[in-house]
Structure 1
């Protein structure tokens, strides 16, 4: 099955438990449609670069999935209809990276940055 990575931004006035509940809900949607979540990370409340629906901050979540296209489309459809979800980004990848995402790594653990030209 194809591999996907999803990033979701939920409203800032949700509690941490409610935001993590959204992640579990969408994991269940994938499982019901024949997919599986390989890894999920809750990144917490972060400030956005610009306002979305009059919100300056949002709860960020990251999912790594292995699911058929129909399951991903159904999950995205439900995310877009959900009142608490502001934005969704889904990317199809060839392989998942091992370990935590860059957002969850400490600065010392990240690789060296390239020089800018």
Structure 2
């Protein structure tokens, strides 16, 4: 199993419950595909460098997890089609 870092930006016009539900959805997808969540943290609302989907601000969330490449591929697929997520990036961390 490899270690990955996922950063995604959620729309800020969602209410608190919808935002938490979206974060739990991402966590659930990772866990059902066999990933072990190491850290899940909300960084908070930040101003974007440029406008994305008519939004100037976004809520940044970071998740570190261990899993196979299939987990990262499934997360990438789902996050691409989720309209309330503005951007995402999955990075495989180097072995130490």
TM-score scaled by structure 1?
A: 0.76
Q: Which has the higher strand share?
A: 2
Residue 8 of structure 1, CA deviation: 0.2
Residues 1:16 and 1:95: Cα distance change in structure 2 (over 3 Å)? farther
* 1:32 corresponds to: 32
Q: Is the Cα contact below 8 Å between 1:33 and 1:71 reproduced in 2?
A: yes
Number of equivalences:
96
Bigger-Rg structure (1/2)? 1
Match of 1:43, SS state, is strand
Residue 36 of structure 1, CA deviation: 1.6
Give the Cα separation in 2 of the matches to 1:29 and 1:58: 22
* 1:9 corresponds to: 9
Question: Unpaired segments of 5 or more residues in structure 2?
Answer: none
Pairwise mapping of residues 63-74 of structure 1 onto structure 2 (< 5 A)?
Answer: 63-74=63-74
Question: Unpaired segments of 5 or more residues in structure 1?
Answer: 97-117
Residue 95 of structure 1, CA deviation: 5.4
- Give per-residue Cα distances to partners, 1:4-29, cap 9 Å, x unaligned: 00110011201233222212111110
Structure with more contact order per residue of length (Cα contacts < 8 Å, sep ≥ 6): 2
